[in-house]
Amino acid sequence: MTTSADAPTTRATGAAERRGPLRVGDRVQLTDPKGRLHTIVLAPEGTFHTHKGYFRHDDLIGRPEGSVVANTAGIEYVALRPLLSDYVLSMPRGAAVIYPKDAGQIVQMADIYPGARVVEAGVGSGALSMSLLRAVGDDGSLHSIERREDFAAIARGNVENFFGGPHPAWQLSVGDFADVLPQIAEPGAVDRIVLDMLAPWENIDAAATALVPGGVLICYVATATQLSRTAEDLRADGRFTEPAAWESMNRGWHLEGLAVRPEHRMIGHTGFLLSARRMADGEEAPERRRRPAKGAYPTGDEGTWSPEELGERAVSDKKLRRVRRDVGQAPEV
């Protein structure tokens, strides 16, 4: 199943719509004096309540971003339209999201540029899709492939809620990557492929067939065993350059007068990123000169790879139904 906007659209969310005064229907992020965040959608005669008072949405409608509004108890809130990173961390979700720190690395290290032809697989809740759409722009294309229809529905709802409607560069298909990719892309017609799935090594052949020479394949995996298997299968395939792998960690800093120090909490390991580039047809990457350590390549059966063994946590059907309702994508009865 493929979904896209049937009617032409100029841009799902134009720059002008993200500037100017706050309007009815705008999503607004409120920050209280303790730094806590609250997200509301402005509505006529709407109100924002906490256990310490309330204020009316009309107090914000028509005012510029960065305005301060006080509730009936005198508590002040700063009102701003949320950044993409804010939206991703607060939006309804079924599957776990790719954190902004990793999405930023994917956009930069895979060199996602305006006009690029990009395919991603493993859409989850749509977090990465939004970053990729921002990068390719209206003149590029992003085709997202998701195996589960319920995850795809949640992703569609989140993406369209953020952009204010269907994005002109986005298509979403439900199915297996290896089955869908040949239907949507000719061999050598894709510039970048992003895989966020349990076993990306199973789709190396399909990715290599679709990528242009010099195209980038980037994989997001959670565990070291997935990372190792993907790297070895890329080397064995012979159509890619030597893979590179890394992870990033995000540690905030406490800023209070002279008490400037690292925060006690940080966003540590979320996943590994692995990238490689497509070689020209008929060419092979030079053999690695470094010698592996003893025991680096075990012999015998490699065993099976199940979702449970790779650490995937199941999402209940009840939660998925609730999240689909939250994003306006409830299943038809």
CATH of the domain at 321: 3.40.50.150
Under DSSP, is residue 218 helix (H, G, I), strand (E, B) or coil?
Answer: strand
Q: 126: annotated binding-site residue? A: yes
Q: Which two tokens stand for residue 10?
A: 């100029």
Q: Are residues 252 and 158 in the same domain?
A: yes
* 125 marked as binding residue: yes
Domain that holds residue 144: 86-326
Tell me how far apart the terminal alpha carbons of the chain are, to the nearest angstrom.
Answer: 19
Same domain, 97 and 31: no
Q: Is 127 annotated as a binding residue?
A: yes
Task: Spell out, as residue ranges, where the chain has pLDDT lower than 50.
Answer: 1-14
Kindly report the pTM of this predicted structure. Answer: 0.81
Is 236 part of a structural domain of the chain? yes
- Domain annotation covers residue 11: no
Buried-state track 301-311, b at ≥16 Cβ within 10 A, e below 16: eeeeeeeeeee
59 is in an annotated binding site: no
CB atoms within 10 A of CB 224: 10
Residues 216, 237 within the same domain: yes
User: Would residue 40 count as lying in a domain?
Assistant: yes
Number of domains in the chain: 2
Where does 185-326 have alpha helices with state H? Answer: 204-210, 224-237, 317-326
Amino acid 6: pLDDT: 40
Q: What pLDDT is recorded for position 10?
A: 40
pLDDT value at residue 199: 95
Kindly state whether residue 150 falls inside one of the protein's structural domains: yes
Tell me, what's the pLDDT at 215?
97
Note the pLDDT of residue 307.
Answer: 65
Query: Does 183 share its domain with 57?
Result: no
**pLDDT at res. 295:** 63
Instruction: Give the per-residue pLDDT at 310.
Output: 60
Q: Check residue 147 and report its DSSP letter.
A: S
- Indicate the angle between helix axes 127-136 and 100-109, nearest 10 degrees: 40
- Residue 308: the pLDDT is 62
Give me the pLDDT at residue 123, please: 93
128 is in an annotated binding site: yes
Q: Does a structural domain hold residue 92?
A: yes
Identify the residue whose tokens are 């892309």. Answer: 185
